[in-house]
Amino acid sequence: MLYEGKERYINPYTDFGFKKLFGTEMNKDLLISFLNALFNGHEVIQDVTFLNSEQLGSAYLYRKAIFDVYCENEGDEKFIVEMQAEIARFTPQDARDYEESIKVYRDLTNVVNTAEQKGENRRALVIAQEMKKDGMSNTLIANTRG
Report percent pLDDT > 70 for the chain.
75
CA angle 120, 69, 109 (to 5 degrees): 35
**Residue 60 pLDDT > 60:** no
The torsion region of residue 3 among left (phi > 0), alpha (psi -120 to 50) and beta comes to beta
Which residues neighbour 132 within 8 Å (Cβ) at sequence distance 6 or greater?
138, 141
Residues in the chain: 146
Is there a single domain that holds both residue 1 and residue 54?
Answer: yes
Instruction: Count up the domains in the chain and report the number.
Output: 2
Which residues neighbour 17 within 8 Å (Cβ) at sequence distance 6 or greater?
10, 11, 101
pTM of the model: 0.48
Is there a single domain that holds both residue 9 and residue 80?
Answer: yes
Is there a single domain that holds both residue 50 and residue 118?
Answer: no
Rounded Cα gap, residues 14 and 100, in angstroms? 9
Is there a single domain that holds both residue 146 and residue 104?
Answer: yes
Q: Kindly state the DSSP code that residue 137 receives in the 8-state scheme.
A: -
Read off the pLDDT of residues 107-144 as tens digits, 9 standing for 90 and up: 777 787 788 888 888 888 888 888 889 888 888 877 77
- Sign for the CA dihedral angle at 29, 35, 40, 44 comes to negative
**Residue 1 sits in which domain range?**
1-88
Is there a single domain that holds both residue 19 and residue 83?
Answer: yes
Is there a single domain that holds both residue 80 and residue 65?
Answer: yes
Read off the pLDDT of residues 41-50 as tens digits, 9 standing for 90 and up: 888 999 998 7
